[in-house]
């Protein structure tokens, strides 16, 4: 009789016991423990895949992760026992005299290697690839931007440079036109004074202090024009209408820039910055997927990454800790590439140790397959391929990924979480000196210019 069966999975980090219903073509309950063969499995520690929990003496107490659940499911489906051997290396390939995962598997004559192994022709010669159990995008580990952008320039941000240029040209044009009229009016007044001292009605100038009138209208202060000539009043009226519109638009937009203080931009904004910014250095784990992909690429952006690795002698680290320290080092110039889940685990552990967000990441959109390995010409390859495909088909791998995905909050959250938070009501924030730094900067500059003019006037008056 066909039956469905239950399996209990105990999570050790304060998680309750989760019961999962597996919908399979299971055989009768009495046949479940009748195993036909025994496999030796080498398991390597990797985020999401398998994590070791050790006691104070360093002995492994338990191993948990998505790969262990997959292995247990396939073992129950195809009726075999297995023994786990914990790997003691962190690289797939050999690094110098230190053997990698594949070499350890061959020395132990193991049947299966649990790993997160990227595809490459060189590895295919040594082991058989199981159908990929995970498709993970790459990610760049970057330092968290520190501090905030200077808000001194908030007073000039409401207008684009062309608007400011147009305003300066308009102010100069109106000033030159009115000064020219004042010059002609004063010249005619002198001629009238010389010819007829009895003095007929003289021509009225626009204003005696024209420069201050132009500045006053720009500052929304206005002024008095005694001249009543129609063409002059039309010209001055057009200038006043222009300043009325610009001043009100400026005041309306200014508040947005005054109250907004943005953090400093990250060291990179995209993958292209990694490849073409000469001030950014790329670092990877020696012998892992990033090193293999970039070093063997013959075209495209990965070829650019490979050229950058070859040009920098410290680009390949023998351990993840070395790469992370390079990312943290000052000045911030290094970015570290690895799989998304590896970078998430690094961010999580760093936050747990420091209680500060010193690292964040830039996620890649291209997903890369990762597989297990089995011995060459293994008769068990077909069972592992079929079991992995079945797990993907019923969605269990995706479910288990959610259980063991590292929590990177508050240092990094996915875009859908940030969209969800946009609708939340934000508390009111009182303006600080950082918001109004631009206004005080203008006051300081104006005071310095005023003091300079005062000193120069006194110097010229003494001379």
In whole angstroms, give the CA distance from residue 99 to residue 118: 18
> What's the rounded Cα separation, in Å, for the pair 394 and 398?
9
pLDDT tens digits in sequence order for the chain, 463 residues long: 333 333 333 333 333 333 333 333 333 344 444 557 899 999 988 888 898 888 888 788 888 999 999 999 999 999 999 999 888 777 777 777 778 888 888 888 899 999 888 888 888 888 999 999 988 888 999 998 876 656 677 778 888 889 989 999 998 998 888 888 878 877 777 776 665 554 444 556 666 678 888 888 888 787 777 777 788 888 888 888 888 888 888 888 887 777 776 667 888 888 888 989 899 999 998 878 788 889 888 888 889 999 999 999 999 998 889 999 999 998 889 999 988 888 999 999 999 898 888 899 887 767 888 899 999 989 999 999 999 999 999 999 999 988 988 888 888 876 533 433 444 455 556 666 767 777 788 788 888 988 998 898 888 888 7
Contact predicate 339/289, CB 8 Å: yes
Q: Nearest CA to 75 among 391, 429, 405, 459? A: 391
Kindly calculate the radius of gyration of the chain based on its CA atoms and give it in whole angstroms: 37
User: Rounded to a whole number, what is the largest CA-CA distance in the chain?
Assistant: 132
50: how many CB neighbours lie within 10 A of its CB? 23
Backbone φ and ψ for 442, nearest 5 degrees, come out as -60, -40
Per-residue pLDDT, 442: 78
Asked whether 171 and 214 are in contact (CB, 8 A), the reply is yes
CA 294-136-108 angle, 5° bins: 80
Q: Are 208 and 186 in contact (CB under 8 A)?
A: no
Q: What is the C-alpha to C-alpha distance for residues 438 and 448, in angstroms, rounded to an integer?
A: 15
Provide the angle, in degrees to the nearest 10, between the axes of the packed helices 381-394 and 66-78: 110
pLDDT of residue 6: 33
Q: Is 355 left (phi over 0), alpha (psi -120 to 50) or beta?
A: left
- DSSP-assigned beta bridge partners for residue 374: 112, 128
pLDDT for res 35? 55
Q: Tokens 């519109």 appear where?
A: 245
The CA distances from residue 54 to 57, 252, 389, in Å, are 8, 61, 32
- What distance in Å separates the CA atoms of residue 269 and residue 354, rounded to the nearest whole number? 25
Q: Which residue has the tokens 């102010």?
A: 171
Residue 349 CB partners (closer than 8 Å, separation 6+): none
Run of H or E including 385:
helix 381-394
- DSSP alpha helix (H) spans, 27-160: 66-78, 101-108, 121-124
Structure tokens at 159: 């207008």
Distance separating alpha carbons of residues 369 and 436, to the nearest angstrom:
51
Q: Residue 3 has what pLDDT?
A: 33
């Amino acid at each position: 009789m066909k039956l469905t069966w239950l399996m209990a999975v105990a999570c050790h980090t304060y998680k309750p016991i989760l019961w999962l219903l597996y919908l399979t073509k299971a055989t009768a309950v009495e046949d479940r423990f009748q195993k036909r063969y025994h496999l030796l499995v080498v398991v390597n520690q990797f985020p999401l895949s398998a994590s070791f929990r050790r006691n104070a003496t360093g002995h492994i107490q338990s191993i948990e992760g998505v790969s262990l659940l997959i292995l247990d499911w396939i073992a129950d489906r195809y009726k075999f026992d297995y023994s786990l051997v914990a790997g003691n290396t962190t690289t797939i390939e050999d690094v110098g005299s230190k053997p990698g995962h594949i070499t350890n598997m061959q020395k132990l004559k193991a049947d299966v290697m649990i790993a997160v192994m990227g595809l490459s022709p060189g590895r295919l010669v040594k082991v058989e690839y199981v159908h990929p159990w995970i498709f993970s995008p790459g990610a760049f580990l970057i330092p968290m931007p520190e501090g905030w952008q200077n808000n001194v320039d908030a007073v000039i941000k409401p207008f684009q440079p062309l608007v400011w240029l147009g305003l300066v040209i308009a102010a100069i044009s109106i000033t030159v036109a009115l000064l020219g009229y004042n010059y002609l009016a004063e010249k005619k007044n002198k001629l009238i004074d010389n010819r007829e001292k009895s003095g007929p009605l003289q021509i009225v100038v626009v204003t005696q202090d024209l420069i201050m009138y132009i500045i006053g209208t720009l500052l929304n202060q206005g002024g008095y024009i005694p001249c009543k000539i129609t063409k002059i009043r039309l010209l001055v009226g057009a200038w006043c209408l222009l300043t009325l519109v610009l001043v009100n638009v400026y005041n309306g937009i200014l508040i947005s820039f005054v109250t907004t203080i943005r953090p400093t931009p990250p060291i990179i904004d995209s993958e292209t910055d990694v490849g073409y910014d000469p001030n950014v250095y790329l670092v990877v784990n020696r012998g892992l997927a990033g090193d293999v992909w970039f070093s063997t690429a013959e075209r495209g952006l990965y070829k650019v990454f490979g050229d950058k690795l070859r040009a920098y002698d410290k680009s390949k680290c023998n351990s993840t800790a070395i790469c992370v320290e390079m990312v943290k080092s000052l000045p911030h110039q290094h970015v570290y590439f690895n799989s998304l889940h590896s970078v998430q685990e690094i961010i999580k552990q760093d936050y747990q140790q420091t209680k500060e967000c010193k690292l964040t990441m830039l996620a890649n959109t291209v997903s890369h397959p990762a597989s297990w390995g089995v011995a060459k010409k293994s008769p068990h390859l077909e069972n592992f391929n079929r079991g992995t495909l079945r797990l993907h088909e019923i969605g269990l791998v995706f479910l288990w990924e959610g259980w063991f995905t590292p929590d990177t909050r508050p240092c990094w959250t996915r875009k859908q979480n940030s969209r969800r938070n946009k609708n939340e009501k934000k508390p009111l924030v009182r303006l600080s000196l950082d918001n109004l730094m631009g206004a005080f900067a203008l006051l300081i500059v104006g005071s310095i210019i005023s003091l300079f003019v005062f000193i120069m006037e006194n110097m010229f008056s003494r001379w």
